[in-house]
Amino acid sequence: MYTLLRNMLFLFPPERVHYFSMNLLHFLCSINWIRKGIKKRFTPPGNDRLITVLQTKHSTLTFSNPVGLGAGFDKNAKYLRELECLGFGFVEIGTVTPKAQPGNDKPRLFRLPKDNALINRMGFNNDGAAMIAGRLRQWREQQNTNRHTPSLIIGGNIGKNKSTANEDAWKDYEICFTALFNYVDYFVVNVSSPNTPGLRALQEKDALRKILQNLQNINITRPNSKPILLKIAPDLSDEQINDVIDLAQEIQLDGIVAANTTIGREGLQTPASVISRIGAGGLSGKPVQQRSTQIIQQITRQTHASIPVIGSGGIFSGNDAAEKLKAGAILVQVWTGFIYEGPGIVKKICRDLVLPE
């Protein structure tokens, strides 16, 4: 059924379809009996073997299942209820910047069906930290009013504004961290998007230390400290990844998300002429699968599995998720797979997932 629907949706511009689909789901979930039906249809059945615990020095987070939605899908925390109904164990909102910004010019999202991939150059378009924090506060208040303990874990993916110079980037991360602190369960520092000029330079060890150490210094003053993770690019060399690992151990980082989109274009089935017309942007989906798994393996090997890893890149099935878990990840995130496989992807992965021994 979804294959037919997807073929129809793929006739229209990707970004327009994204918001049309999510706004339709939002409307349907506003009707109580329909929302209950959607939740029953797509939520994986309760299964103790799928419950995942992220134990950090700060806190213990319990995930109803290990399948999450990566940052960039619900940038502005508008669809948390709807995504919970689709069974996600966790959702990462953002990337959030201090000030609202429109992102890059459209079109900025492109499908590569022959490669089960996407290219995006969104450019951190979002409503800004204050407005997004307000939505998250409202979400939390609604859960409390309904006396409902949400099963959905919320991550806050934070970044810098395009206009902020790299030497001042640490200030932007601090603003976002402070604004979202009371409303998210964990943070992910995003210095690896290829769509904000100069951002990836912040992955260098000294620049990264300044950002992360400042957040850790703030974090330890709070009575309810939050886990802080770092999202890295798949384009880092092994030496650069080792530098990230050394820094993560030095400042006692709580985890790493591996990996973001790639600027590489090797081995694609889509004609080179089409790729050239699309231009710059981060490539996600199946072409990133192998490299992200390799990075997870490297982190796990170098740290003796002492740093938790969230695996991201090319996950479309239970076998794909199991590959990441076997490599050393404790949780996985989908994004492009969600577009290609449809709203049943979480239930499908959880049903087919064989957890590593």
CB 240 within 8 A of CB 278: no
CA 344 to centroid of chain Cα atoms:
18
Beta-bridge mates of residue 332: 67, 311
Can you read off the two tokens belonging to residue 137?
A: 């506060």
The enclosing H or E element of 118 equals strand 117-120
Dihedral angle sign, alpha carbons of residues 298, 302, 304, 307: negative
Q: What is the DSSP-derived secondary structure letter of residue 167?
A: G
CB 236 within 8 A of CB 244: yes
Is residue 317 part of the annotated active site? The answer reads no
Beta-bridge mates of residue 333: 68, 312
In 3-state terms, what secondary structure has residue 189? strand
Q: What is the DSSP string of 91-103?
A: EEEEEE-SS-B--
CB 71 within 8 A of CB 96: no
Distance, in Å, from the CA atom of 55 to the CA atom of 58, rounded to the nearest integer, reads 8
- Helix count (H) and strand count (E) of the chain? 13, 13
Catalytic residue among 193, 284, 292, 312: 193
Edge-to-edge strand ranges of the sheet holding 117-120: 109-112, 117-120, 282-285
| Tokens 């000030």, residue located | 99
Dihedral angle sign, alpha carbons of residues 65, 71, 73, 78: positive
**Residues belonging to the active site:** 193
